[in-house]
């Protein structure tokens, strides 16, 4: 059972609310159509029910508001507009990624592809899907959690008659199993054909709440559709003859050459046109829309009413206003690590970037070795003085920026909302995955560069440096730091470009500033820092760790390490600030 009580949207400036005190029910085991012309408030009403828009009122799904449902995707399936997925992702990959977000097994994706008729198209890219296939995939996304209630906004828009018939059959099958289905439509004939109950709204207010039989009797009327180049003359003749015969005939001009005649028949209209010598290009029986007709409102007693009592004071409202509807934060994925892995490797972009960077790194390393003046560590990571960062470190930052940049560009986690949840679990999953990819890319680039140098110049050029552990730690820290800088930059500014800019700002802006600050003579030394840290700690670590701790301090104390540490600290603070500010608004 879906119960919407007192839904009222927040008015903008001096305009009236788009939805005003809307109350209705959608019973289980039936299909309910929310009918209204464009601009009548249908979509806004759905967004109020789903707590995607601020206002007043409350909506109960099986007796509970949406924010009190532990796993909404398993109770309410939603389809608002198109599928918000990366166009290069496959249909199966999109559903498997959403399975991790909803906390259901990945096998559910293949089951639903078969249910919606896309079993043979699971490997097709989202960008190549037709409107009908996209709508089928959107319905599969709504059904992932096997929800009891389906809430769909104009699900048949842009579909062919055959696809509409298929979708109506699927919705009826869901309702036949005891589920609740609520969908919006602007076509009265479609509502009468596909729904069991029809809720009609106009200008945000409830006009009628009827079963389909009452709706068809009061709203839909048989008519004769006529198309003629002399529409005005034929309309005048039909009206004149109807008055003379004392018959109730209504003639409505639809456009320049089309008439709708109510209360007559094709034979009568055709005979009249023939007698007056008026050519007719079309003559057909149709079912016409009589417009919003007020009917007894079901559940009208539950509508909140404000009663005004006379008196010396101002008007007094004795009934309570409906509760406010705050826009609550989007929920993160239930399985964030699995979700992030499927998001990252579900498109070819990741593999293409890694392959391109390995090839570029090997080529740069071979070119640098020709002069014989570049140190071996710089050769192994392909870092000439001309580049601000090695290719592998920049690629790690780019992949990190895409981790949040793609979320905001294709918000699969927040369909119809446009915002991405700033949950700690999602952030930690992205940090872990981006760090793992950065380390893998750093290792592969060193191996590829060493192999390229060995093949071109022989094995004498490549040798293990004496300070290999310290160099490896520095290289790993640089790669992971760049990945996290891109990730946090894109998360703060909601753009992939901003994440890439945050990565490049470290060597281009922050490092020169750090070099100027550290260029002066120093009267102090950090020697003995591990021992002093041991004195502050409760637990005493082994003395063998002093060397490792000192090596880590030296890595961070370098200009690049210090600049990267400061940049990451600033980005973390900015990310936390934007997260708290967003929650304060909610």
In this predicted structure, the answer to whether residue 497 has a pLDDT above a threshold of 90 is yes
| 244-248, 481-485, 550-554: range with lowest mean pLDDT | 550-554
Q: Which two tokens stand for residue 512?
A: 């020169």
Which pLDDT score, from 0 to 100, does residue 522 have? 56
Distance CA 27, CA 197 (A): 9
In this predicted structure, the answer to whether residue 470 has a pLDDT above a threshold of 90 is no
Q: What is the pLDDT of residues 81-97, one digit of tens each?
A: 777 789 999 999 999 99
Which pLDDT score, from 0 to 100, does residue 217 have? 82
Which pLDDT score, from 0 to 100, does residue 464 have? 80
| 19-23, 101-105, 309-313, 440-444: range with lowest mean pLDDT | 309-313
Q: In this predicted model, which residue has the larger pLDDT, 448 or 548?
A: 448
Element (H, E) at 150: strand 149-153
Segment 397-413 shows an average pLDDT of: 93
Spatial CA neighbour of 192 closest among 206, 211, 172: 211
Spatial CA neighbour of 174 closest among 32, 46, 54, 364: 32
Q: What is the pLDDT of residues 293-351, one digit of tens each?
A: 555 444 433 433 333 333 443 333 434 678 999 888 788 899 999 999 999 999 999 99
Confidence of residue 418 (pLDDT cuts 50, 70, 90): low
In this predicted structure, the answer to whether residue 396 has a pLDDT above a threshold of 90 is yes
Distance CA 100, CA 336 (A): 7
In the chain, the percentage of residues whose pLDDT exceeds 70 is 86
Confidence of residue 535 (pLDDT cuts 50, 70, 90): low
Which pLDDT score, from 0 to 100, does residue 536 have? 55
Which pLDDT score, from 0 to 100, does residue 417 have? 63
Distance CA 191, CA 179 (A): 18
| Cα distances (angstroms) measured from residue 527 to each of 155, 534, 549 | 69, 14, 11
Which pLDDT score, from 0 to 100, does residue 297 have? 44
CATH 3.30.70.980 applies to domain 218-289? yes
Which pLDDT score, from 0 to 100, does residue 499 have? 96
Handedness of CA 226, 230, 233, 237 (dihedral sign): negative
Q: What is the pLDDT of residues 186-225, one digit of tens each?
A: 999 999 999 999 999 999 999 999 999 999 888 888 889 9
In this predicted structure, the answer to whether residue 532 has a pLDDT above a threshold of 60 is no
Give the global pTM: 0.81
| 226-235, 265-274, 341-350, 564-573: range with lowest mean pLDDT | 564-573
Segment 494-509 shows an average pLDDT of: 92
Classify residue 155 as exposed, middle or buried by CB count within 10 Å of its CB (0-12, 13-18, 19+).
Answer: buried
| Cα distances (angstroms) measured from residue 81 to each of 138, 328, 478 | 8, 20, 42
| Cα distances (angstroms) measured from residue 428 to each of 101, 200, 575 | 15, 46, 13
Residue with tokens 């981006």: 434
| Cα distances (angstroms) measured from residue 541 to each of 469, 473, 533, 536, 551 | 21, 21, 10, 12, 16
Give the count of beta carbons closer than 10 Å to the beta carbon of residue 577.
11
DSSP string, 502-519: HHHHIIIIIHHHHHHHHS
Q: What is the pLDDT of residues 125-165, one digit of tens each?
A: 999 999 889 999 999 999 999 999 999 999 998 888 999 99
Q: In this predicted model, which residue has the larger pLDDT, 306 or 172?
A: 172
In this predicted structure, the answer to whether residue 585 has a pLDDT above a threshold of 60 is no
Q: What is the pLDDT of residues 14-59, one digit of tens each?
A: 888 999 999 999 999 999 999 999 999 999 999 999 999 999 999 9
Spatial CA neighbour of 478 closest among 381, 342, 365, 573: 381
Angle of CA points 125, 127, 131, to nearest 5°: 105
For the chain, the domains span 2-217, 218-289, 336-585
Which pLDDT score, from 0 to 100, does residue 311 have? 40
- Per CATH, the homologous superfamily of domain 2-217 is P-loop containing nucleotide triphosphate hydrolases (3.40.50.300)
DSSP string, 259-301: EEEES--HHHHHHHHHHTT---SEEEEEEEE------PPTTGG
Which pLDDT score, from 0 to 100, does residue 542 have? 57
Give the count of beta carbons closer than 10 Å to the beta carbon of residue 282.
11
Handedness of CA 175, 178, 184, 187 (dihedral sign): positive
DSSP string, 351-407: HHHHHHHHHHHHHHHHHHHTTS-S-HHHHHHT--TTSSS-HHHHHHHHHHHHHHHHH
Q: What length is written for the chain?
A: 586
Q: What is the pLDDT of residues 536-577, one digit of tens each?
A: 555 555 555 545 444 454 444 466 777 788 889 899 999 988
**Phi, psi (5° rounding) for residue 371?**
-75, -25
Which pLDDT score, from 0 to 100, does residue 293 have? 59
Segment 381-406 shows an average pLDDT of: 94
Handedness of CA 350, 355, 356, 362 (dihedral sign): positive
Handedness of CA 355, 357, 360, 362 (dihedral sign): negative
Give the count of beta carbons closer than 10 Å to the beta carbon of residue 396.
35
């Amino acid at each position: 059972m879906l119960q919407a009580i007192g839904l009222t949207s927040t008015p903008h400036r001096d305009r009236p609310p788009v939805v005003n005190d809307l109350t209705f029910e959608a019973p289980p085991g039936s299909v309910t159509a929310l009918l209204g012309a464009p601009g009548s408030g249908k979509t806004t009403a759905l967004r109020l029910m789903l707590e995607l828009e601020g206002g007043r009122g409350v909506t109960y799904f099986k007796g509970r508001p949406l924010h009190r449902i532990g796993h909404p995707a398993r109770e309410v399936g939603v389809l608002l507009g198109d599928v918000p997925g990366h166009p290069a992702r496959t249909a199966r990959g999109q559903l498997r990624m959403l399975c991790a977000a909803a906390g259901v097994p990945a096998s559910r994706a293949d089951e639903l592809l078969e249910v919606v008729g896309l079993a043979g198209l699971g490997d097709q890219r989202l960008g190549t899907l037709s409107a009908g296939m996209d709508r089928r995939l959107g319905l599969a996304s709504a059904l992932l959690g096997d929800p009891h209630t389906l809430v769909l906004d104009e699900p048949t828009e842009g579909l062919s008659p055959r696809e509409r018939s298929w979708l109506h059959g699927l919705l009826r099958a869901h309702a036949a199993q005891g589920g609740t289905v609520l969908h919006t439509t602007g076509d009265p004939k479609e509502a009468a054909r596909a729904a069991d109950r029809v809720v009609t709204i106009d200008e945000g207010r409830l006009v009628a709440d009827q079963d389909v039989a009452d709706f068809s009797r009061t709203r839909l009327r048989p008519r004769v559709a006529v198309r003629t180049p002399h529409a005005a003359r034929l309309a005048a003749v039909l009206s004149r003859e109807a008055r003379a015969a004392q018959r109730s005939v209504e003639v409505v001009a639809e456009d320049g050459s089309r008439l709708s005649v109510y209360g007559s028949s094709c034979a009568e209209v055709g005979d009249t046109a023939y007698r007056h010598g008026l050519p007719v290009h079309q003559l057909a029986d149709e079912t016409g829309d009589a417009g919003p007709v007020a009917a007894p409102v079901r559940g009208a007693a539950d509508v909140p009413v404000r009663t005004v009592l006379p008196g010396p004071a101002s008007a007094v409202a004795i009934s309570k206003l409906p509760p406010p509807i705050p826009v609550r934060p989007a929920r993160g994925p239930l399985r964030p690590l699995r979700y992030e892995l499927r998001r990252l490797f579900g498109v070819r972009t990741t593999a293409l970037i890694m392959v391109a960077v390995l090839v570029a790194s090997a080529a740069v390393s071979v070119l640098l070795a020709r002069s014989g003046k570049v140190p071996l560590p710089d050769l192994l990571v392909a870092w000439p003085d001309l580049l601000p960062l090695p290719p592998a470190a920049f690629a790690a930052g780019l992949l990190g920026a895409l981790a949040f940049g793609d979320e905001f560009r294709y918000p699969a986690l927040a369909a119809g909302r446009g915002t991405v949840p700033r949950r700690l679990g999602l952030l930690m999953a992205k940090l872990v995955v981006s760090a793992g990819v950065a380390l893998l890319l750093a290792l592969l680039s060193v191996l590829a560069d060493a192999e390229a140098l060995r093949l071109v110049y022989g094995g004498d050029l490549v040798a293990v440096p004496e300070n290999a552990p310290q160099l490896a730690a520095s290289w790993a820290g640089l790669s992971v730091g760049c990945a996290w800088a891109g990730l946090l930059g894109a998360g703060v500014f909601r753009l992939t470009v901003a994440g890439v800019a945050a990565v490049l700002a470290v060597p281009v802006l922050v490092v020169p500033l750090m070099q100027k600050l550290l260029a002066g003579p120093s009267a102090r030394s950090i020697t003995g820092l591990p021992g002093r840290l041991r004195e502050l700690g409760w637990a005493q670590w082994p003395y063998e760790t002093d060397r490792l701790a000192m090596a880590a301090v030296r890595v961070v104390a370098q200009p690049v390490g210090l600049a990267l540490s400061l940049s990451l600290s600033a980005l973390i603070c900015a990310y936390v600030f934007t997260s708290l500010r967003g929650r304060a608004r909610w």
